[in-house]
């Protein structure tokens, strides 16, 4: 299976388990790896995954959403990419400087893999 990847996409959204986090909002980073057979693309974008369309689809589901979990964002992004022709997708979502009382972490990340049903 062939892979098409976009790394370090940035979106502004309202994610967090506290009301304050969701009110203020923050930037998150996302990557995706879409798996599909591109051997028949033959220089025609409609025969492969248009990564610009994938970016727009992810942005439409993620930007300015108000959710508790980055897992929810990853699920929505994966579903969006699967509707564009990918057979499988891996999505990573990073939330920088997550609020952990008494501790520090550069980011929290969730990675999920979904197959087209």
Q: Taking the CA of residue 54 as centre, how many other CA atoms within 13 Å lie in the half-sphere pointing to its CB? A: 27
Band the pLDDT of 49: cuts 50, 70, 90: very high
- Give CA 27 to chain center in angstroms: 12
| pLDDT recorded at residue 20 | 87
| pLDDT recorded at residue 95 | 96
Alpha carbon distance 82, 94 (integer Å): 20
* Contact status, residue 54 vs residue 30, Cβ threshold 8 Å: no
Alpha carbon distance 103, 99 (integer Å): 8
The tens digit of pLDDT for each residue in 99-114 reads 889 999 999 999 999 9
- The predicted model scores a pTM of 0.93
């Amino acid at each position: 299976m062939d892979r098409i990847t976009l790394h370090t996409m940035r979106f502004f959204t309202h994610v967090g388990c506290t009301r304050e986090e969701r009110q203020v909002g923050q930037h998150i980073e996302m990557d995706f790896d879409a798996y599909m057979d591109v051997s028949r693309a033959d220089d025609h974008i409609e025969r492969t995954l248009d990564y610009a369309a994938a970016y727009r689809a992810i942005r439409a589901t993620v930007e300015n959403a108000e959710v508790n979990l980055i897992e929810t964002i990853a699920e929505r992004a994966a579903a969006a990419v699967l509707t564009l022709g990918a057979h499988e997708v891996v999505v990573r979502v990073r939330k920088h400087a997550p609020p952990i009382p008494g501790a520090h972490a550069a980011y929290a990340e969730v990675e999920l893999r979904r197959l087209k049903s």
